[in-house]
Amino acid sequence: MPDHVYTVLTDYLTTRGIDAKDIPACTEPLFTSTSNRSKGQTLSTRSISKICKTRFIKAGFNDPKWTAHSTRHTAGILSLELGHSQRDTQLMLRHASGDTTNIYLHQIGKLGNSATADISKAIFD
């Protein structure tokens, strides 16, 4: 993990009351719910999708193709296009099988299609 990412995550976890020295062995979820019914529990995939969709709309991207899952696909494609190995990309995406990651290889060069291009532009421009 890059040092700057580790620093940001450490700062964030510290604000949640987790001591910096305990972070390497921490088993708490990285992001937790703040709702009354599930406060402190792992965010559900539905909650993550809703948070992402709300942020996309606030940023001016109100397109049904823009989803939390589409950002995952974009990350996989960009990883491969930037020269990372299939195995590194597989580990990043936490695919159990390399066959799943190989699907992304067929998408290389297609960043001009649909949400992938928009997400890439929003990240890098």
CA atoms within 13 Å, Cβ hemisphere of 93? 29
Structure tokens at 37: 């019914």
Domain boundaries, the chain: 45-124
State pLDDT tens for residues 100-111: 988 888 777 665
Q: 3-state class of 80 per DSSP? A: helix
Q: Which DSSP helix (H) or strand (E) runs through 40?
A: none
Provide the whole-model pTM.
Answer: 0.65
Q: Is the pLDDT of residue 27 over 90?
A: no
Q: Please tell me the distance from the alpha carbon of residue 9 to that of residue 50, in angstroms, as a whole number.
A: 22
Q: Is the pLDDT of residue 123 over 60?
A: yes
Structure tokens at 78: 């960009």
* Mean pLDDT, range 1-30, rounded to an integer: 87
Q: Is the pLDDT of residue 89 over 80?
A: yes
Q: What is the largest CA-CA distance in the chain?
A: 45
Percent of the chain having pLDDT more than 90? 26
Q: Please tell me the distance from the alpha carbon of residue 117 to that of residue 86, in angstroms, as a whole number.
A: 21
